[in-house]
Structure 1
Amino acid sequence: MKAEAGTESARGAGGESARGAGGESARGAGGVTRAAVPAPWVARLTADGAPFAVRDGVYASGPRTLREFVEAVWAYGDRVFLVSEDARMTYREFFDAACGLARRLVGEYGLRPGDRAVIALRNHPEWQVAFWAAQLAGLVAVPLNAWWTEDEFGYALDDCAPRVLLVDGERLPRVRAWARRHAVPGIVFHGDGPEEGFAPYVPDTDPYLGPPDVEVTPEQDATIVYTSGTTGRPKGAVATHLAQAGAAVNPRYFAAAAALARGEVPGTGPAPVSLTTFPFFHVAAFTSFYAVMAAGGTLVMMRKWDAGRALELIREHRVTHYAGVPTTALQLLEEARRAGDGLESLTLLSTGGAPAPPGIVAGLTERYGERIEPRNGYGLTETCGGVLSHVGAEYRAHPGGAGRPSPVTEVRIEAPDADGVGELQLRGQSLIRGYWGDEDATRAAFTDDGWFRTGDLARIDGDGRVAIVDRLTDMVIRGGENVYCVEVERVLQEHPGVADAAVLGLPHPVLGEEVAAVVRLRPDRGAEVDAEALRSHVAARLAAFKVPARILVQRAELPRNPTGKLLKRELRERFTAGDGR
């Protein structure tokens, strides 16, 4: 996801920047800084003494650590927090369980602040218990992609060197061998029985003991969330407690701003009931569950995405907010149309994790008028969630935009062209401090004055809205999941019958993009290789969403420029012409 909003304007060489909650225009080296034009209600939220005032670049009255953030939700008591297919958990039950697990991690396992705790579960209620137990214990939570293969898990585990694994029974076979080799213990949720080195999760919900007595400071690391880079290898994006605390406040600000834009008083409506379909390890999910927790709302979960079942859950639980990737949102709206379901309880349809096709807003408005508010935005793993928000009437009027920044995020366009398009760069409270154990990658990602290079091409429109134009990075976003082309290319090139390979993204009406590949076969060893054999080869080594849906097999050289770079535009045109299975 991607972040935004700022405290003061700053311009780099040849760039232009915009401030989140207002700002001033200024001329810097290379051109004019165009500041965001604040809506008239922004000052009511960000002025001195207001709920979202900013001091020294951070929210003045917001939490400073995730421990501070989660301790406050205990006050919601018997309100229902988590709803799964077979269980409900109130805020008090959740908090007591998280405290109990935190005490176990500190006492029984001897973990100390700074130790890493890997979390690899489906969207069970216990995922939330495990994540927040790590925060209460001062540990660094490392949520890993639950869809990864054993090899993919192994790479991340080697990289972050955790001292405990918190996994469910489905993930256990994929981490078992690594845990035994490194003598790292684990706790299993929803497992079938005892296992060497892994103890079953036994809830400890004593309401009188509270969290362990450990010190958690804003400067300490809170999370490592893995994302892939242009090398194709996952990188661990490290966020401090202060950064994640800022990310937890951002959605509250956006919700308040949206309420004022509608002419309502923020915080006066009912608590949200959110059907959140993002996998919890995905940074887009953080934005969603932070918002629900801050408001004392309810988080409704699905074990596996199914549009028909989603409609049933919306009706059963009177869901008010839907949150998911554009793919699932489109499928939900289509299923509602087919079933004649009016989505009577729904007031917000929020998408993230991938660019939203403009058709989502048009279809929503055509069928439901303005009753259901559309929301989209922009964020990255490196910004700890959404930092730009696009909502309501403004989103309907400009469906191709990405929105405006939060008060603690600055945005600028580096080296804009004649149309104002250049690389989007960000700076602010919720940005990561760098990549785990990778100083070279950290230096490459940040400018000397602290701006994060997103790798996205964007422009700032005249009234301060950011519009994302394209990506500089060679990446496919398939249904909200990032697929880095070089990683898939490397696996294809490992096949003995493959001489060369190029992976690219093609437009898809539901997924947004699908993965495609052009493969050149070796003259001496490629006789029996076909597209299905290549898909099987990739599927055995990478997660299913990374397997190319379409593969063009050829014996001719792949087109490259004089420096050796693949000319993927030419390859894409071949698929457009109907080639590739």
Structure 2
Amino acid sequence: METKQDIAYLEVPTAAIDIEKTTRSDGSILLRSRLPLESYPEKITERLCYWTDKNPEKTLLAQRDADGNWYRLTYAEVWKRMLSVAQYLLDSGADKDHPVVVLSGNSWQHALLALAAQHVGIPFSAISSAYSLKSKDYKKLKHCIELLTPGLVFAQDGQRYQNALNAILGDTPLVVAENAVTGAVLFDELLGVPPTKSVQQAHAALTEHTIAKILFTSGSTGMPKGVINTQGNLSCNLQQITQTYPFMSNGGLHLIDWLPWSHTFGGNHNFGLVFYNGGTLYIDEGNPTPAGTEITVKNLREIAPTVYFNVPKGFEELVVQLDRDEALCSLFFSKLKMLFFGGASLSQHVRDRLDALAMRTVGKRILISSGYGMTEACPSTMFNTRYDQLSGNLGVPVPGISAKLMPCDDAFEVRFKGPNLTPGYWRDDLQTENAFDEEGYFKSGDALKLQDVEDANQGLVFDGRITENFKLNTGTWVNVGLLRTQLMNESNGLIKDVVLTGYDQSFVGALLFLDANMRQQMTLEELPLRLIEVMTAIFKRNTGASTFIKRALIANFEPSAKRGEVTEKGSINQRAVLTQRKDWVAKIYQEPSVPEILEI
């Protein structure tokens, strides 16, 4: 039997863990790191300037061109082109009240626009491409545009985004990189604009409070909200992350990454870390689908990352490919120092497979890290850097931030305060006022609890999303996040996702989304027996009707991104599925139950 001493890890430097805990008379608990937050730039592009001076010929960005070859831009080239784009923006209709808006996905042109806008203090907003390409009524896109009142809009491909542009553009200036449409300016024209002193003057006028970005929340519980990220918010959080993982500093970060820049994980965390620390980013145009994974795998056959970021769905797809292809696996692990997941919990069976692949390839396990983040924090508030971390443990607060656990019903809502936290929402005073408590802490809506109430250094554990949790008709709360994770872990990979049901009902039910490969390996007789076995195991461990699943139904449909049931990061939107699939939910509570229902 393997013991703790037998486990060999590739050790990399991470920050010390030293958490101060204060319990207050109102039952709230304050947590903060005793490690001081080190200094960070007031302006987000200062680090880009630093690395351009220090290592001008190093590749900052790379992306495949139309012929499939890597098109590379050095730090010096990015800096020079950024200044030209910045001048164009200053001469356009964009300003502090009329942001630069991007409708399309990640690209080197997108990167230059983002950096240029932030360099001269024009707010920048990347909007999820799904709002343009997967919607028929463009409802969310129109909402975002009406809120922003943009001074300039960019789309990578004018023809591909033509319908969305027709729905929202009006008289707003349009820039496209390819397949120009009537009235559009080609992006290459921006690169030929000579920068003047006005670029320097605009940059000099920036402060840490200048708005840098407006990133939209997912809109899973309503219309998207425009989260303000200031220059100081962004710089602060990149310093907090770098302090936590110091091996990323000094040019050692080498990423290949697909995560969309319209979300904080990809756009702030990953892209930001690269130019903040003098690294290199290869833009991966894949995604966590079978077809998208083929693109990612093609890229990983050529590029060896030092850190690999992904969402759990992406890792689920990738481990299958790594297990099949020895050469791919060897290159993937050859320079790897850390695997990092975000957006949801990584199931234990995927962790185990990653461990096994690393041991088989390099003879040591790789740190699998995670944390807790949100758009309002740019995004990071906590990290788990332990090699022996427990599933669901989100780690401890980063330096410079204070976390408050506030009693809420039968749980603790986690709230945060620090220099990386947003000042509020763009043009929405009511949402801003409601987002913070009387002490200025941002209310996350998530429930966390201490892993060990006697030792805060052991970290915090996810205890459900307060806005997802619901009550049975007995008045008992159902912890959706916890029960969902238990079910997926117990199934050892057979259940890839779950939507829990039971609002105002007498028991908890579930729609089960199964792993296609594992499902095919089981007979029609074996499959229901295995699922009932999983449900029964949870029933035996837990007590009370709110802590186990009485009935479940295998979802013989794929959740639809067009209907909002799947987010851009590949995770299921619980509320959307419950709203869109009411007929499926009704089957679970039908009396007598229908034959396809699994029941314990």
**TM-score normalised by length of structure 1:** 0.72
Task: Give, in whole Å, the separation in 1 of the partners of 2:418 and 2:586.
Answer: 48
1:113 is displaced (CA, Å) by 3.6
Task: Give, in whole Å, the separation in 1 of the partners of 2:156 and 2:110.
Answer: 9
* 8 Å Cα contact 2:33-2:401 kept in structure 1: no
Corresponding residue to 1:553 among 567, 579, 583: 583
SS in 1 for 2:225: strand
- Any unmatched runs of 5+ in structure 2? 1-15, 66-70, 470-479, 485-498, 500-508, 517-555
SS in 2 for 1:232: coil
The yes-or-no answer on 1:116 pairing with 2:104 is no
Task: Give, in whole Å, the separation in 1 of the partners of 2:167 and 2:585.
Answer: 40
1:155 is displaced (CA, Å) by 1.3
**Letter aligned with residue 28 of structure 1:** R
Deviation track 1:48-97 (CA, whole Å, cap 9, x = no partner) reads xxxx43xxxxxxx2011224343333223111111112221111111211
1:548 is displaced (CA, Å) by 4.5
Task: Give, in whole Å, the separation in 2 of the partners of 1:195 and 1:396.
Answer: 57
1:201 is displaced (CA, Å) by 0.9
Deviation track 1:365-390 (CA, whole Å, cap 9, x = no partner) reads 23314443212111001111122112
1:228 is displaced (CA, Å) by 4.4
The yes-or-no answer on 1:316 pairing with 2:287 is no
The percent identity for this pair of structures is: 20
Task: Give, in whole Å, the separation in 2 of the partners of 1:535 and 1:298.
Answer: 34
* Alignment partner, residue 400 of structure 2: 408
SS in 1 for 2:393: coil
* Alignment partner, residue 182 of structure 2: 195
The yes-or-no answer on 1:252 pairing with 2:234 is no
Task: Give, in whole Å, the separation in 2 of the partners of 1:179 and 1:222.
Answer: 23
Decide whether aligned partners of structure 1 residues 335 and 434 sit closer, same or farther in structure 2, where only a CA change above 3 A counts: same
SS in 1 for 2:344: coil
The yes-or-no answer on 1:378 pairing with 2:408 is no
* 8 Å Cα contact 2:587-2:594 kept in structure 1: no
1:429 is displaced (CA, Å) by 1.1
Task: Give, in whole Å, the separation in 2 of the partners of 1:113 and 1:319.
Answer: 37
Which structure has the higher relative contact order (CA within 8 Å, separation 6+)? 1
**Letter aligned with residue 64 of structure 2:** E
* Alignment partner, residue 225 of structure 1: 215
SS in 1 for 2:153: strand
SS in 2 for 1:354: coil
SS in 1 for 2:443: strand
* Alignment partner, residue 463 of structure 1: 456
Task: Give, in whole Å, the separation in 1 of the partners of 2:211 and 2:561.
Answer: 39
- Any unmatched runs of 5+ in structure 1? 1-19, 47-51, 54-60, 260-265, 479-484, 486-503, 512-530, 560-569
* 8 Å Cα contact 1:273-1:321 kept in structure 2: yes
* 8 Å Cα contact 1:106-1:212 kept in structure 2: no
Task: Give, in whole Å, the separation in 2 of the partners of 1:510 and 1:426.
Answer: 36
SS in 1 for 2:320: helix
* 8 Å Cα contact 1:272-1:292 kept in structure 2: yes
Decide whether aligned partners of structure 1 residues 96 and 552 sit closer, same or farther in structure 2, where only a CA change above 3 A counts: same
SS in 2 for 1:434: coil
* Alignment partner, residue 63 of structure 1: 41
Decide whether aligned partners of structure 1 residues 217 and 36 sit closer, same or farther in structure 2, where only a CA change above 3 A counts: closer
Task: Give, in whole Å, the separation in 2 of the partners of 1:95 and 1:411.
Answer: 37
* Alignment partner, residue 240 of structure 1: 230
Task: Give, in whole Å, the separation in 2 of the partners of 1:374 and 1:23.
Answer: 21
SS in 2 for 1:365: helix
1:33 is displaced (CA, Å) by 4.0
**Letter aligned with residue 141 of structure 1:** F
Task: Give, in whole Å, the separation in 1 of the partners of 2:511 and 2:148.
Answer: 34
* Alignment partner, residue 515 of structure 1: none
* Alignment partner, residue 346 of structure 2: 356
Task: Give, in whole Å, the separation in 2 of the partners of 1:473 and 1:316.
Answer: 43
Task: Give, in whole Å, the separation in 2 of the partners of 1:106 and 1:245.
Answer: 23
**Letter aligned with residue 147 of structure 2:** D
Corresponding residue to 2:64 among 64, 85, 94: 85
* 8 Å Cα contact 1:395-1:401 kept in structure 2: no
1:121 is displaced (CA, Å) by 2.0
1:359 is displaced (CA, Å) by 3.3
SS in 1 for 2:467: coil
The yes-or-no answer on 1:284 pairing with 2:265 is yes
Task: Give, in whole Å, the separation in 1 of the partners of 2:80 and 2:431.
Answer: 39
Decide whether aligned partners of structure 1 residues 172 and 24 sit closer, same or farther in structure 2, where only a CA change above 3 A counts: same
SS in 1 for 2:64: coil
CA RMSD between the two structures:
3.9
1:37-56 matches, within 5 Å, as 42=35, 46=36, 52-53=37-38
* 8 Å Cα contact 2:213-2:228 kept in structure 1: yes
Q: Aligned pair count?
A: 471
SS in 2 for 1:304: coil
* 8 Å Cα contact 1:37-1:463 kept in structure 2: no
Task: Give, in whole Å, the separation in 2 of the partners of 1:290 and 1:426.
Answer: 22
Task: Give, in whole Å, the separation in 2 of the partners of 1:241 and 1:536.
Answer: 33
SS in 1 for 2:102: strand
* 8 Å Cα contact 1:69-1:245 kept in structure 2: no
**Letter aligned with residue 84 of structure 2:** G
- Whose helix proportion is higher, 1 or 2? 2
1:468 is displaced (CA, Å) by 1.1
* 8 Å Cα contact 2:415-2:442 kept in structure 1: yes
1:163-202 matches, within 5 Å, as 163-169=151-157, 170-180=160-170, 183-190=171-178, 192-196=179-183, 198-202=184-188
Task: Give, in whole Å, the separation in 1 of the partners of 2:225 and 2:597.
Answer: 36
